[in-house]
Structure 1
Amino acid sequence: MQPLLSALRIAASGALGWVREYWQQGLCPVCGSATRVGYMRGEGRRQFLRCQVCGMEWVFPRARCPYCGADSPGDVVFYRPLESRQWLRLYRCRRCGAYWKIVDEEDEAAAERGLPPRELYDTYTFVLDAVAEMLASKRR
């Protein structure tokens, strides 16, 4: 299924050029899958979400929850829970409880150590899933 959806994304990429800049949801605009992973890079360290199913990537505001849309000050918080990997960020929405994982590709230490391909970011950041579960259990 994944190769088919990747091919669909590639075929539709010309028609969906605007989506990359303006899509404002955590669901992929191509295949509809929910995403929990992304990266930051470029001027102002723009945040991109990345679909783990078809590979679509789109810009998303850092201070907004991709699941409930919360964007008031304090709604979205982020953590850098790993001292040895400060380029891994865990974002969490205080309003709905959702979380997503971001790799800061511009971090100097990350550049020195080398990052895996983006296709592997979800696996590469698996420890953040455990941290998110721990934070969720503390909320209860």
Structure 2
Amino acid sequence: MADWQAEAIGWLRPVWPAVYNPRRADFPMGDAGEGARQIRWEFEQLAVADAILFWFSFETTQPIVLYELGRWAASDKPLAVGADPRYERRFDVVEQLALARPGLTVHTDLPSTCAAANRFVGEEA
């Protein structure tokens, strides 16, 4: 699976003073303790973030990310969202966001999703 997070950080780092990346080089699948720590860390970082970027690559369904998107779509936190055209649940992401966040663009590529996130810098959250 491609490391799209590293690519995104390349576009975000020059603009954002901090970028929180949940990807771990060697995540111990099956370790419930580490899983719980990871979930808590992600939960806490999303809560304190000034804005959130969601990218849905085509390689996996990402059910937890769908949950997180739903949670934050119901808030007023700035969101930049993109889904690869080959992502199997793209239709659902687009339709749900049209209801929860009318006018929010669901981008089709990572560079435009990152550019949308970069536009939030300096805005009041």
TM range (shorter): 0.3 to 0.5
Larger helix fraction of residues = 2
Q: Give the structure-2-normalised TM-score.
A: 0.33
Larger strand fraction of residues = 1
Q: Give the structure-1-normalised TM-score.
A: 0.30
Higher relative contact order (CA 8 A, sep 6+): 2
> Larger Cα Rg: Structure 1 or Structure 2?
1
